[in-house]
Amino acid sequence: KMANLALVVSDFNHEITSKMEQNAENAAKQLNAKIIKKIHVPGAFEIPFAANKLLKNKKIDAVVVLGAVIQGETHHDVVIVNAVAPKLIELSLKYNKPIGFGIIGPRVTWQQAEKRAEEYAKRAVEAAVKMSNIN
């Protein structure tokens, strides 16, 4: 059956995440999946909150999360991704619905993130669709 997806997009590093959003939409089309809801959040830290809301929705089969957490002067990028990733796994298991993980980082430069934007978005959608078809 056609997978109904929801998208959570972090607006931090918008130049990168907006590209990721476009690539995710294209990937969904190619896989004959439908994005029925989209939530934009300020940064990666807010992604689990939005994902939690979307996973509660009976019409949504899977959630795809997109973000770019770039390396700065401190280890803030590591702290953020290490907080967000386990929480998303927990939510996925709690609601028994897959989450396609399209968060770039930690420890990446702007250039590396730009290079990975398309691939990460596409892979996250592919994973969400594949996993939503598991019985």
40 is catalytic: no
Q: What is the pLDDT of residues 55-103, one digit of tens each?
A: 999 999 999 999 999 999 999 999 999 999 999 999 999 999 999 999 9
End-to-end CA distance of the chain: 12
Q: What is the pLDDT of residues 123-135, one digit of tens each?
A: 999 999 999 998 7
Average pLDDT, the chain: 97
Cα–Cα–Cα angle for 47, 48, 52, nearest 5°? 120
- For the residues 114-119, what does the mean pLDDT come to? 98
pLDDT over 70 for what percent of the chain?
Answer: 100
In contact, 91 and 65? CB cutoff 8 Å = no
DSSP 44: G
Q: Where does the pLDDT of residue 1 fall: very low under 50, low under 70, confident under 90, or very high at 90 and above?
A: confident
